[in-house]
Structure 1
Amino acid sequence: MTRTTSHRRPAPRLGRVPDPTPLFWLTKAVSTAMGEAVSDYSIHVLPPVIAVVCGFALFVIALAIQLTRGRYRPWSYWFTVGMVGVFGTMAADVMHVVLGVPYAVSTAFYTVVLAAVFWLWWRFERTLSVHDIVTPRRELFYWAAVVATFAMGTALGDLTAVALGLGYLASIAGFAALMLIPALGYRFGRWNAVLCFWFAYILTRPLGASVADWLGKPRADGGLGAGEACVSLSLVLLMGALVAVMYVRSPSREATAARSRPAEIGEL
């Protein structure tokens, strides 16, 4: 008698973050602007210390919810991104407003922090691809990188618009033009997918922050004067609508996005 054994292929582990689809990039851009607007508004209506503590508490709560999902869920993921946007903005503003650190120095500091996160992430996991975020540790590295990009991007946006005197519109045009570099490089130059993703991801923050400031700041400061309250509410509603679209448009695909991908799709 012979005994046969069947070798079953292990089921792919579900990804914990979304694929970088066009809808992802649109929602990400809105989230960066929303984080800037909500942070600025909260600091003006609340004592700064209380505002920062509340921002940090909401970020921790959102992150805890996201980490317990075990797989990508649009509502928990984008709630966390929104809270990162608010707290990341506050972290950059505290260094400048409270500690008096120049924007150039805070931008350089958060750039070093981000580089350190990427180095440690690569050192332990040997991949920086969002398609490979299928374990809690990789997701923690991912969120550490996201927080660093938001803080660095906020400082960079203020550096160009305020410290360098370029203004908000010029900053928007500049960062939008820079975002074309990874897009064109990936599309026509066969650049590394992971490098292009993080290049574009980092730039969405100063771009979104500049847009929010341009919309909300007074005309005397180079903005349109719509007001931070109006801009904050509008962007929160828009982001909520985009997340709802993710469920209505293709719930099955959006709910299981970012599964494990072959290595050739992108590893540094």
Structure 2
Amino acid sequence: MTTTIEERSGSAPGVRRALTKVPEVTVYFWLIKVLCTTVGETAADYLDTNLNMGLTNTTWVMSVLLVAALVVQFRVRGYVPAVYWLAVVLISVVGTLITDNLTDNMGVPLTTTTTVFAVALALSFAAWYAVERTLSIHSVRTPRREAFYWLAILFTFAEGTAAGDLVAERMNLGYWVSAIVFAAVIAAIGLAHYLFRLNAVLSFWLAYILTRPLGASLGDYLSQHKSDGGLGLGTVGTSALFLATILALVVYLTISRRDRQAEPAR
């Protein structure tokens, strides 16, 4: 779903307006988002299993890296592709690990984690709207709105992980069938937006949440052993492939500036 900026009203002469801190929602946005989501799944598995770090240690290490990336993201004046997408990659890993810790280490049922994170996400949206009167990512121009934005992003990854795992376990569809199902639902949301005028903000956040289980299904299909229904590329190969693709796209967008939102006239 490609959207355009909503806030185009000019400011008084000489008044400097804050720059948008997030990219324009284009096909590049959705492609990199799915790739980041896949990396979140495979990288978490690689650090936990292949490097024997364990869920707890992996969560602490990745959380520290995420905090560092967000500090840089908050300090830059406008949208910087490398900084923004690094934060998304790290928050996708941390969101995955939060859910995995609750289910694997603490034994919390997926039905419970799915419900809890859905409520947490709804509350974060409610607080965001109550304070800012908008949930549009085109309005992310102040530190407070950016804080609401990244909090919501974290909950979308945690909720998407829990819901995706719940669907995979309860319905036992297999990786590639699950990916097709989630892709079809996202396509239906897109059609509802373009054909039936489904609210743009609602459409965006619904699709954003569902890209998490879509990417996880793709990651598992590529990385898991053939005996388990995957292609057997492994977490190392899958993570490296997707990270290289993300890097190439980020470099392209940095040079071309194809994903920069139009800034309001001064």
Q: Provide the TM-score with structure 2 as the length reference.
A: 0.90
Q: CA deviation at 1:205?
A: 0.6
Measure how far apart 1:197 and its partner are: 0.7
- Aligned match for 1:257, one of 258, 261, 266: 261
Find out whether 1:207 has 2:211 as its counterpart: no
Q: 1:37: which partner in 2?
A: 42
Output the amino acid matched with 2:133: R
Give the aligned partner of residue 82 of structure 1: 89
In structure 2, the residue matched to 1:150 is 157
Note if contact 1:167-1:222 (Cα within 8 Å) is conserved in structure 2.
Answer: yes
* Distance in 2 (alpha carbons) for counterparts of 1:258 and 1:176: 29
Superposed structure 1 runs of 4+ greater than 2 Å apart: 7-13, 256-261
Residue 116 (structure 2) pairs with residue 101 (structure 1): no
Establish whether residue 194 from structure 1 lines up as the match of residue 201 from structure 2.
yes
1:120 pairs with one of 124, 127, 132: 127
Q: Distance in 2 between matches of 1:156 and 1:258?
A: 35
Aligned equivalents of 1:230, 1:244: Cα separation in 2:
21
Determine helix, strand or coil for the equivalent of 1:213: helix
Kept in 2: contact 1:72–1:258 (CA 8 A): no
Deviation of 1:189 (Å) = 1.1
> Paired residues, what number?
252
Alpha-carbon deviations, 1:110-145, whole Å to 9, x = none? 111100100000011000001111100000000000
Counterpart of 2:6 in structure 1 is none
Normalised to the residue count of structure 1, the TM-score between the two structures is 0.89
**Alpha-carbon distance in 2 for matches of 1:258, 1:40:** 38
Question: Which amino acid in structure 1 is aligned with residue 18 of structure 2?
Answer: R
Change (3 A) 1:16 1:47: same
Gaps spanning 5+ residues in structure 1: where? 1-6, 262-268
Q: Please report how far the alpha carbon of residue 97 of structure 1 lies from its aligned counterpart in structure 2 after TM superposition.
A: 0.5
Amino acid at match of 1:14: L
Aligned pair in 2 of structure 1 residues 8, 260: CA closer, same or farther (>3 Å)? closer
SS at match of 1:20: coil
- Given that residues 131 and 260 in structure 1 are in contact (C-alpha distance below 8 angstroms), is that contact kept between their aligned partners in structure 2? no
In structure 2, stretches of 5+ residues that fail to align are 1-11
Query: What is the CA distance between 1:164 and its match in structure 2?
Result: 2.9
CA apart distance, 1:245: 1.1
Matched AA of 1:148:
F
Could you tell me the percent identity over the aligned residues? Answer: 40
Query: Does the C-alpha gap of structure 1 residues 102 and 120 become closer, same or farther in structure 2, counting only changes over 3 Å?
Result: same
CA distance in 2, matches of 1:90, 1:185: 32
Q: Residue in 2 aligned with 1:265?
A: none
SS at 1:203 equivalent: helix
